[in-house]
Amino acid sequence: MHIPDGFIAPVVYLPAYAVAAGAWAYAVRRVQASLDENTLPFLAVMTAAAFVLMMVAIPLPGGTTVHAAGIGLLGVLLGVWTTFLSVSLVLLLQALLFGAGGITALPVNALAMGLAGGASAWLAFTGLRGWNGRVALFTAGAVSVLVPALLIALALGIQPLVAHAPDGTPRFFPFGLSVTLPAVLLPHLIVAIGEGILTVIAYRYLAALRAPRAA
Amino acid sequence: MRLERHAYLDRAALLCYLATVVALTSVHDLRVLGAALALTLAVAGGGALGLMRRVVLAVGPFCLVVSVSYAVLTIPSGQFSGGYLVLVNLRVAVLTSLTFLVMERVNLARALGFSRGLLYVVTLATSQALTLRRVVEDYRLALKGRTLVRLGLRDRYRHSAASAARLLAKGLHQSGEIALAMRARGFFDDTSSR
C-alpha cells in the first residue's frame, strides 16, 4: 500500500503535510497528557512492534502471502491517537531507512493508514463489540485495511487531474480514479479478510496471555 | 561544543534534503532531474553502484508495475507518452537515491536531538525493532524446523496470529522493563528531558 516518492504532486502532499502536522500536534498533546516514564517507553516499543508487525505474513489461499499491517489490532488495543503516532513513526523510519514509502508520500500514508485506519478500526470495534466480540474484531481488522486503501486509491487517482502537462500528459501517478479504485480496492478485499481473521486470533491470544491493554 | 556543531550540521543537511525533495517534485525537466541523479551518484562516489542497487530493490517493483500498466493501458488508445515514463521513473530514482545518500551521511539521531523525547522514542523504537524482528524470524524458522509437511491455511493463520500477539505482548513487557531501567538511571528526573 506504500506509495514511493515521485508519484504524489506537491499540490497534494504539501496540503497533506499541513493536515498531518495538525493531526500530529493534536495526537502528541493527547498522548502527552499521559506521557510519563511509563507511556514514553510504551510508545517507543509499540512503534517497534508496529514496525515488525508489518513483516508478519498473512497466508492467502493458493499458497501466497501478503504482509499484515496490524493497524486494526493496534487501533483496538492502543486507541486512535497512539496508533496514529506509532504508525506515523513507523512510516517515517521505513521511508528514511529502507526507502519503503517516500518522504513526500509520508503524510498521505500516515493520514490514511495511521489516522483513518486506526480510527475506523477503533470505531468498528467499539460500535460492534456489544453485539458480537468476534465480529467487532474481524470488522476492525478488515476496515483498517479497506479505509486506507480507499483513501490511497483516491489520493493516487486524483494525480492526473491535479498535475498534468498542457497537452494532458500526466506528471505524477498516471491513472485516474476509474483505474485506481478497482486496482487498489479489489486486491485489498482479500487482504482485509486475512487481516480481519488475524486480528480476531491475535486479540484472543493476547487475551489469553492476559496482556495489559491501553485504550 | 564540537558535538553541538555536528548536530547543527546534521539538522541543516536534513532541512536542505527536505527543500531539495520539494524542489525536485516541482521540476518536470528531464535535464534537471538527470543532472540531479548524476550529482547524487557523483557524491556517492564508489558507493554509487550499491546505491542504485538499493534504489532498484526498494522502488523497482512498484515502478515496474506502474510503467507496464501505463504502457498496456495507453498504447492501444494512442495516448502513450515515452517522455512521461522517463520523467516519472527518473524522478523516483533521484528522490530515492537522494534519501538513501542523505540517510547514510546524516546522523538521524543527532539531527533529531532538538527534542530529547523524540530522540528517545526514535532510538528506542529502532533498536527494539531490530530485536523484535529477530523474534519473528526465530518463530518462522522454529515452525519451519518442526514441520515436515506444508501446513494448512488454518495452521498458518494461527502461527501468524500467535507471532503478532506474542510480538505485542513482548513489546508491552519490554516497555515496562525499559521504563524501570530508565527510571533507575535518572532519565526522568531531568525536567528538560521532554
CB pairs under 8 A between A and B: 222
Identify all chain B residues contacting A52, using CB atoms and an 8 Å cutoff. Answer: 129, 132-133, 135-136, 167
Q: How many CB atoms lie within 10 A of CB A98?
A: 16
- For the CA atoms of B130, B136, B141, B142, what is the dihedral angle to 10 degrees? 120
8 Å CB contact of B128 and A48: yes
**What are the domain boundaries of chain B?**
2-110, 115-193
**Nearest-5° angle of CA A113, CA A173, CA A2?**
25
Selecting from B84, B94, B165 the residue whose C-beta is nearest the C-beta of A209 gives B165
| Residue A66: closest C-alpha in chain B | B160
Task: Give CA–CA dist B165/B60, Å, rounded.
Answer: 32
Minimal Cα–Cα distance from B5 to chain A, Å? 23
Task: Give CA–CA dist B107/B89, Å, rounded.
Answer: 28
Identify all chain A residues contacting B126, using CB atoms and an 8 Å cutoff. Answer: 48, 93, 97
Q: Which residues pair with A58 in a beta bridge?
A: A66
Selecting from A44, A59, A206 the residue whose C-beta is nearest the C-beta of B168 gives A206
| Residue A170: closest C-alpha in chain B | B84
CA gyration radius, chain A: 17
Q: How many CB atoms lie within 10 A of CB B97?
A: 25
| Phi, psi angle pair for A68, to nearest 5° | -70, 155
85-114 in chain A: CB under 8 A from chain B: 89, 93, 95-100, 102-104
8 Å CB contact of B99 and A96: yes
Q: Which three cell numbers stand for residue B160?
A: 501468524
8 Å CB contact of A41 and B175: yes
Q: How far apart are the first and last CA of chain B?
A: 21
8 Å CB contact of B25 and A6: yes
Best CA proximity match to A104, nearest among B96, B8, B12, B38: B96
pLDDT in the model for residue A215: 42
Minimal Cα–Cα distance from A130 to chain B, Å? 23
DSSP string, B142-188: HHHHH-SSPPPHHHHHHHHHHHHHHHHHHHHHHHHHHHHHHHHTTGG
Alpha helix stretches (DSSP H) within chain A = 10-32, 39-53, 71-78, 80-93, 106-109, 118-128, 133-157, 159-162, 177-209
Best CA proximity match to A70, nearest among A43, A52, A82, A85: A52
Task: Give CA–CA dist B176/B28, Å, rounded.
Answer: 50
pLDDT in the model for residue A214: 47
User: What 8-state DSSP symbol labels residue B189?
Assistant: G
pLDDT 10s digit of each residue in chain A, 215 long?
A: 567 888 899 999 999 999 999 999 998 888 777 666 666 777 777 778 778 777 666 665 555 556 777 889 889 988 899 899 888 988 888 887 766 677 888 999 899 999 999 999 999 999 999 999 999 999 999 999 999 999 999 999 999 999 888 888 888 988 899 988 888 888 889 889 988 988 898 888 777 765 444 44
8 Å CB contact of B54 and A99: yes
Task: Give CA–CA dist B36/B12, Å, rounded.
Answer: 19
pLDDT 10s digit of each residue in chain B, 194 long?
A: 566 777 788 888 888 998 999 999 998 899 999 999 999 999 998 889 999 999 998 888 888 888 998 999 889 988 888 899 999 999 999 999 999 998 888 877 777 766 777 777 777 787 778 888 888 888 888 888 888 877 777 888 888 888 877 777 777 777 777 777 777 777 666 544 44
The complex's ipTM works out to: 0.78
Architecture of domain A10-209: Orthogonal Bundle (1.10)
Residue that is written with C-alpha cell 494461527 in the block:
B158
**What are the domain boundaries of chain A?**
10-209
Q: How many CB atoms lie within 10 A of CB A168?
A: 9
Q: Is A182 on the interface with B (CB under 8 A)?
A: no
DSSP string, B115-133: -HHHHHHHHHHHHHHHHHH
Minimal Cα–Cα distance from A2 to chain B, Å? 9
50-69 in chain A: CB under 8 A from chain B: 51-53, 55-59, 61, 68
Q: Is A189 on the interface with B (CB under 8 A)?
A: no
User: What 8-state DSSP symbol labels residue B113?
Assistant: T
Q: Which three cell numbers stand for residue B47?
A: 558507493
Identify all chain B residues contacting A165, using CB atoms and an 8 Å cutoff. Answer: 28
